[in-house]
Amino acid sequence: MSATPESHFPQDYRGARRAFIAACEARGVDVIARVHPAAKGPDGKPLFLDTAAMGPRHATKALLLICGTHGVEGYFGSGVMTGLMRGGIAPPPDARLVMVHALNPFGFAWNRRVNEDNVDINRNFVDHADPPANPGYDALAEAIAPRDRTDDAWARADAVLEDWRRRYGDRAWQQTISAGQYHHPKGLFYGGARESWSAQALRAVLTEDLSRVEKLVAVDFHTGLGAPGTGEIIVEAAPGTPAHARALAIWGDSIRAATTGESLSTPLTGTLEQGLERMLPRAEITCATLEVGTVPLPAMFEALRLANWQDQFAPDASGAAEIERRMRDAFYGDTPGWKQAVWGHAQACVGAALAGL
């Protein structure tokens, strides 16, 4: 294992996958590859969701680690998983450890947060026959995701959003835009009209690797919110609930509940945690998102809007390379200092989760 944690972090999806598989093979751990049935990478080659499992299949306790739920955010989680595997991570004797590498391989490969259908996987776990409403987003949809990239049109859209923010406040502005929406397929934070391939693949992983689990601790690795290199353990469970008490017992006072306003995140719909609870209804699930900071929120939001415009409305690909670079920079701090900092957060978070088993 390298003494420099930055060596674990990849430069692209293909390199990330090679490094993760090589680290698993060096430990004698098999990797199961699930090929995407339709989407391809920028190189025209297939895309994969890869899983590695350790510990007895009949275990009733398990730790689940997931990266790449938001595609481009996979650089962080992939580097962590590869580093942990290189470092000899192992579950307790009576427990199971499952790693899901690149839950959204399309977004990872293309430097996008969404999948091939513009779906935000972390908003996709809902009842699609009766999805949650988001009237605030409906009212702001054209300003959030402008069709016209001219300076005047973009400025008008910005003015609409700024007026709304001034009237209702920063927190309400963030939640309205990012909570999840299900009526604007060409917009941001779209949760989809049906279960995504990633959700189906995750269901298959849970059936294959965690069918007997009674107590599950899960960590989903994300980037974006917060100052560069900082880390926050976000939980959806509200204080006073059993799930919040379990998270507090594992991670201590470092947890931040999205429901109370103490977290960088606002409450979301259709999240991975909600999906795990639906897919494993008999299990006691303690889930956390490890969020590490990259760039200020306005810069991240602007990168998302530009990428959405490029993918949904651009007449040509003339600006695609620059927008791809902006997306990567917005969600991946590709510097030694950033990697060293976030590696420390991940080691502490995962170490506590293992101890909690």
Residue 20 CA to residue 102 CA, distance in Å, equals 10
The pLDDT of residue 1 is 42
Q: Which two tokens stand for residue 155?
A: 């400025």
pLDDT digits (tens, 9 = 90+) for 236-267: 999 999 999 999 999 999 999 999 999 999 99
pLDDT digits (tens, 9 = 90+) for 62-101: 999 999 999 999 999 999 999 999 999 999 999 999 999 9
Asked if residue 310 belongs to a domain, the reply is: no
32 forms beta bridges with: 51
Report the side by side order of strands in the sheet with 255-257: 31-40, 46-54, 95-101, 61-66, 215-228, 284-293, 231-235, 255-257
The pLDDT of residue 228 is 98
For 177, counting Cβ atoms within 10 Å of its Cβ (0-12 exposed, 13-18 middle, 19+ buried), the class is: buried
Asked if residue 308 belongs to a domain, the reply is: no
Q: What is the DSSP string of 297-345?
A: HHHHHHHHHHHHHHHHT-SSSTTHHHHHHHHHHHH---SHHHHHHHHHH
Contact 187, 141 (CB under 8 A): yes
**Total count of domains within the chain:** 1
Give the structural domain span for 209.
Answer: 5-129+196-295+331-356
Residue 134 CA to residue 9 CA, distance in Å, equals 37
Phi, psi of 299 (to 5 degrees): -70, -40
Asked if residue 303 belongs to a domain, the reply is: no
The pLDDT of residue 75 is 98
First to last CA, the chain: 25
**What is the torsional sign of CA 109, 113, 116, 121?**
positive
Asked if residue 351 belongs to a domain, the reply is: yes
CATH number at residue 342: 3.40.630.10
Asked if residue 160 belongs to a domain, the reply is: no
Asked if residue 107 belongs to a domain, the reply is: yes
The pLDDT of residue 3 is 63
- Quote the pTM value: 0.97
Contact 268, 257 (CB under 8 A): no
Alpha helices in 10-134, H assignment, sequence order:
13-26, 74-86, 105-110
Asked if residue 342 belongs to a domain, the reply is: yes
- Those residues whose C-beta lies under 8 Å from the C-beta of residue 72, and which sit 6 or more positions away, are 107, 108, 111, 112, 113, 327, 328, 331, 332
Asked if residue 96 belongs to a domain, the reply is: yes
Helix or strand (DSSP H, E) at 139: helix 135-144
* Amino acid letter, residue 59: A
285 forms beta bridges with: 216
Which of 134, 108, 154 has the alpha carbon at shortest distance from 309?
A: 154
Pick out the chain residues at pLDDT < 50. Answer: 1
